[in-house]
């Protein structure tokens, strides 16, 4: 399959005019990327997914690439309401470290649509690995496509993700994808339900063996970030998962934040001031540029000659955290 950056499938773009620089621009684009995913049943799925790409004219070129992965709503309605995954606030933080940021909306979610390939089965008989693998396939396709851009570095990439996207990040780290030098797991896991069983995810021992297994092959450092009052996974399971990852041969560090609001699982979306410092320090240790000062809040203006964003694209919903 040809996965060259599909300029012809370009859908929309906006430019954010930064008051801090007369000519600097932050650009948001969205395009459709054809992907192929093999389900655990053996059935092969081929369809396009929507990928949002953030770039900053002020960054040196070629720029390192960061693929940022969204979480999973517990119900089909929530997964559809994701719309187009954007993570605008988080993307701008990573832009200030010099990255091109790509946010894929995976199969089964929002504007990408399609079958739910990440369903892991009933609570007491979870099979987590196939769903993580399907998601990691899409991470690999996204990374390969973005690396074809002339402004993208070939040898400097990071994978990051929140909740189910964090677990996807671990699965992708275990594949040692070309150019990937580090990974960041924001409250990664699956099977949590804060309403029905707060702090008690389904089959945590299976999550331990699955997430731990990625340490056997991962050869990049992974930063694990969790909060004590995570209502999806609780205060003890994430540390056990990290220990299993380390015991299998993985490298990285685990940071447990003090309680964040009513649910620490929302730290990524709602408490960026908590995770910005350790993530910035981690990226600098991997040789990425130091965090640039935060510019004045940008004014949104259309890019020259670009069509407006579709009216159905959400602006805040996809900032929320899910399983």
Position 100 pLDDT exceeds 50: yes
* Confidence at residue 314, expressed as pLDDT on a 0 to 100 scale: 36
Position 237 pLDDT exceeds 80: yes
Residue 51: CA count within 13 A, CB half-sphere? 29
Q: What is the pTM of this model?
A: 0.88
Higher pLDDT, 322 or 291: 291
Are the C-beta atoms of residues 299 and 264 closer than 8 Å to each other? no
Higher pLDDT, 110 or 313: 110
Helix, strand or coil, per DSSP, at residue 241? helix
* Confidence at residue 322, expressed as pLDDT on a 0 to 100 scale: 62
* Confidence at residue 323, expressed as pLDDT on a 0 to 100 scale: 66
* Confidence at residue 10, expressed as pLDDT on a 0 to 100 scale: 42
pLDDT in tens, 22-61: 456 999 999 999 999 987 777 899 999 999 999 999 999 9
pLDDT in tens, 122-150: 998 999 999 999 999 999 999 999 999 99
User: Cα–Cα distance between 192 and 202 in angstroms, integer?
Assistant: 6
Mean residue pLDDT of the chain comes to 87
* Confidence at residue 20, expressed as pLDDT on a 0 to 100 scale: 39
Are the C-beta atoms of residues 167 and 190 closer than 8 Å to each other? yes
* Confidence at residue 273, expressed as pLDDT on a 0 to 100 scale: 97
Position 298 pLDDT exceeds 70: no
pLDDT in tens, 168-217: 999 999 999 999 999 999 999 999 999 999 999 999 999 999 999 999 99
pLDDT in tens, 275-296: 999 999 999 999 999 999 876 5
Determine how many CB atoms are found less than 10 A away from the CB of residue 84. 24
* Confidence at residue 14, expressed as pLDDT on a 0 to 100 scale: 46
User: Cα–Cα distance between 31 and 40 in angstroms, integer?
Assistant: 27
Rounded mean pLDDT, 235-258: 98
* Confidence at residue 293, expressed as pLDDT on a 0 to 100 scale: 87
pLDDT in tens, 54-83: 999 999 999 999 999 999 998 899 999 999
To the nearest 10°, report the CA torsion of 221, 184, 149, 47: 120
User: Cα–Cα distance between 211 and 286 in angstroms, integer?
Assistant: 23
Select from 34, 9, 13 the least CA-distant residue to 25.
13
User: Cα–Cα distance between 126 and 122 in angstroms, integer?
Assistant: 6
Residue 138 is encoded by which pair of tokens?
């899409």
């Amino acid at each position: 399959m040809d996965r060259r950056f599909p300029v012809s499938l370009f859908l929309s773009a906006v430019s954010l005019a930064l008051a801090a620089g007369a000519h600097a621009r932050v650009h948001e684009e969205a395009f459709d990327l054809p992907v192929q995913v093999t389900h655990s049943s053996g059935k092969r799925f081929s369809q396009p997914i929507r990928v949002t790409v953030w770039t900053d004219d002020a960054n040196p070129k070629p720029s390192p690439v960061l693929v940022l992965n969204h979480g999973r709503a517990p119900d089909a309605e929530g997964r559809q309401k994701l719309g187009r995954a954007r993570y605008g606030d988080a993307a701008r933080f990573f832009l200030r470290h010099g990255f091109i940021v790509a946010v894929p909306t995976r199969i089964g979610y929002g504007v990408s649509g399609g079958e739910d390939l990440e369903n892991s089965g009933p609570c007491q008989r979870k099979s987590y690995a196939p769903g993580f693998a399907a998601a990691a396939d899409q991470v690999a396709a996204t990374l390969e496509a973005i690396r074809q851009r002339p402004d993208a570095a070939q040898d400097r990439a990071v994978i990051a993700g929140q909740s189910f996207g964090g677990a996807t990040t671990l699965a992708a780290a275990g594949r040692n994808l070309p150019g990937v030098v580090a990974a960041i797991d924001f409250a990664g896991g699956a099977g949590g339900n804060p309403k029905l069983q707060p702090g008690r995810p389904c089959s945590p021992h299976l999550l331990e063996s699955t997430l731990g297994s990625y340490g056997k092959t991962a050869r990049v450092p992974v930063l694990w970030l969790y909060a004590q009052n995570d209502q999806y996974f609780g205060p003890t399971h994430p540390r056990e998962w990290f220990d299993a990852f380390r015991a299998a041969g993985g490298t990285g560090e685990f940071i447990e934040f003090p309680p964040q609001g009513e649910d620490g699982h929302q730290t990524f979306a709602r408490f960026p001031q908590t995770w910005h410092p350790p993530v910035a320090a981690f990226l600098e240790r991997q040789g990425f540029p130091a965090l640039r000062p935060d510019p004045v809040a940008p004014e949104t203006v259309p890019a020259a000659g670009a069509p407006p964003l579709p009216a159905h694209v959400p602006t805040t919903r996809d900032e929320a955290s899910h399983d």
